[in-house]
Structure formats: C-alpha cells, structure tokens
Amino acid sequence: MAVPKRKKSRARTRHRKAQWMRTTPPTVSTCPRCKDAMRPHTVCGSCGFYAGRQVVEIED
C-alpha cells in the first residue's frame, strides 16, 4: 500500500480543501415572457414556458 513520504502541512491541506469555494455561482438569465429570473435551458418556474411554448401548467 502506498504511504506518503512527507507529512502535508496544515496550510497545504486547507488550501486544497478550500477549492470548492472558488467555484463560480450558477448563471441566471431572465425569462423573455415574464422577465423573472431563471436558470438557462430550464422551464421558467413562474410562467411554465420554455423555448416560446407552454410546457408546464402553473397553478395560481
């Protein structure tokens, strides 16, 4: 079994574990129909439209 030759410092370990915080936040676009914020390439949660047509019925 492989064994590390030298001990990794606390700074090096924490630097490696902190990389997940450097990821970019998800992109947000606006719905062309209702102008509400939504994720790109997904159905709008407010009006239920995607690519110019009604995909999901939204209850009021």
Confirm whether 59 is domain-assigned: yes
Q: Number of folded domains in the chain?
A: 1
Residue 32 Cα to chain centre, angstroms: 21
* 40 contacts 50 by C-beta, under 8 angstroms: no
Residue 51, domain extent: 26-60
Confirm whether 17 is domain-assigned: no
Q: Say which residue the tokens 């995909």 belong to.
A: 55
Confirm whether 54 is domain-assigned: yes
Q: Which helix (H) or strand (E) holds 29?
A: strand 29-30
| pTM for the whole structure | 0.57
Residue (of 32, 36, 44) closest to 55 by Cα position: 44
Instruction: Look at residue 22 in the predicted model and tell me its pLDDT.
Output: 83
Half-sphere exposure of 59 (CA within 13 A, CB side): 0
Confirm whether 7 is domain-assigned: no
Confirm whether 14 is domain-assigned: no
Q: What is the pLDDT of residues 6-43, one digit of tens each?
A: 999 999 999 999 988 888 888 999 999 999 999 999 99
Confirm whether 10 is domain-assigned: no
